[in-house]
Amino acid sequence: MMEFAELNDFSLWEARRQEGCFGKSNVEMIPANCLKLSKKIEEIRTLLKQKNVETIKRKLSDDFADSIIIMGILAKRLNIDLEDAVTNKMEIVRARKYK
């Protein structure tokens, strides 16, 4: 099973790789990563409109993975500890009271 540390390491590696490939700085890459994340979320939304989720499960799985990786890259670019952020949010959600 993958750990957050592995996602963090990969995200940093991929962020640096993108910067080298596109010849742009960390800050210059943020809008491109945001756009890619937005496109992936739209792809997921479109796929979920289909009637038979089983037939699109592999594509959904790939798009979910892409989205998580892109969020990891953005977190690295913005110096956000994703593990801490998720842990804190989980605590907030667990504390919610629903009627």
The string of pLDDT tens digits covering residues 11-47 is 999 999 999 999 999 999 999 999 999 999 999 999 9
Does the structure show a pLDDT above 90 at 61?
yes
Q: Which pTM was predicted?
A: 0.88
Q: How many CA atoms lie within 13 A of 1 on its CB side?
A: 2
Q: Which residue has the tokens 């490939």?
A: 21
Closest CA to 73 of 17, 20, 2: 17
Domain boundaries in the chain?
4-95
The matching CATH number, chosen from 3.20.20, 1.10.3470, 3.30.1050, 1.10.287, for 4-95 is 1.10.287
